[in-house]
Chains A and B, each alone.
Chain A
Amino acid sequence: MAKTITFNFEGTEYTLEFTRASVATLEKQGFNINDIADKPLTTLPALFAGAFIAHHRFVKREVIDRIFEKITNKKDLVMKLAEMYNETIESLVDEPEESEGKLEWVASW
């Protein structure tokens, strides 16, 4: 199962998910995931809105922006959205099996 985010807003259940089609639609609109670090103010709402394309294509942008304003823990949300976005590409390839000669890495946080 693909990663999803679910919540209830004003009585409506929302499921956020990225499909390859929704990622392609976002990119067609000029979205670039690499801009997250450089232009977070415009990129993050666009990424959030893009997650609506799969299941809630016809929700108005004003509604999405209102949801985004009200949503808590945005830092984690962005991380999760980025994970979901990347899942569309990561699921196309197998993870290399652990074996000798592979470089392991550790994050400090």
Chain B
Amino acid sequence: MGSELVGDSLPHRGGGSMDSTALSYTEVFYNHLPYYLAIGMPNDLFWNGDCRLTESYRKAYEIKRKQLNQELWLQGMYFYEALCDASPLLQPFAKKPKPLPYPSEPYAITIKKEEIEEKQRRQEQLKYEKAKAKMASWAVKTNAQLAVRAGKEVNDGQHH
């Protein structure tokens, strides 16, 4: 977009001869100035700075636009997933509609080995904690049952 915007207003490209209606360089600069101000280039830098900085500003703007596009796309993904997760609630004839839980973590947008490993480690830790809790509750329950049973046996022995 940036290149098209700035490209269209340049009067001569490809080495044609300038005619009387051609703009002076100064006029061309003034024509382009608003665009560069809009993409964040300071006025002083445009006029007095390294003239090739405009290229860097254009590239930086392009990167910013790509990032914004990526963020909007990601937001759309989250909306889509939220809708899909909640969709069971939207079924009119379902008896006990149960929505799916929304993801507990954001999507991994950077593929770093350490991040993946950390995520796996956390998931395994969570699994382990769950299993541990389950085992502990089972042990408590079993112990209680054993205690009850043992108590019963003691009582029975005393009766006999």
Interface residues of A, Cβ cutoff 8 Å to B = 1-2, 18-21, 23-24, 27-28, 32-34, 54, 87-89, 91-94, 103
- Within the complex, the shortest CB–CB distance from B89 to chain A, in Å, comes to 50
**Quick check: B7 and A94 within 8 Å, CB to CB?**
yes
Question: In the assembly, what is the distance between CA of A27 and CA of B28, in Å?
Answer: 12
Instruction: Show the binding face of B for A, using Cβ within 8 Å.
Output: 2-3, 6-7, 10, 13-14, 18, 24-26, 28-29, 32, 46-55, 58
Chain A residue nearest to B22 (CB atoms) is A34
Given contacts A27-B24, A28-B26, contact A19 B7 (CB under 8 A): no
- Neighbour of A34 across the interface among B14, B18, B47, CB < 8 A: B18
The dominant DSSP class at the A interface is: loop
* Chain A residues, Cβ within 8 Å of B25: 20, 23-24, 27, 33, 88-89
- CB closest residue in chain A, given B11: A89
Inter-chain contacts of B10 with A (CB < 8 A):
89, 92-93
Q: Which of B3, B24, B29, B51 contacts A93 (CB 8 A)?
A: B3
B3 and A20 within 8 A (CB): no
Q: Is the CB of A2 within 8 A of B51?
A: yes
Q: Is the CB of A93 within 8 A of B13?
A: yes
A92–B6 alpha-carbon span in the complex (Å): 7
In the complex, what residue of chain B is closest to A103 when comparing beta carbons?
B14
- How far is the CB of B152 from the nearest CB of chain A, in Å? 88
Contact present for B6 and A93 (CB under 8 Å): yes
- 7 A–B contacts from the bound complex (CB under 8 Å): A1-B50, A20-B29, A21-B47, A23-B26, A87-B52, A93-B6, A103-B14
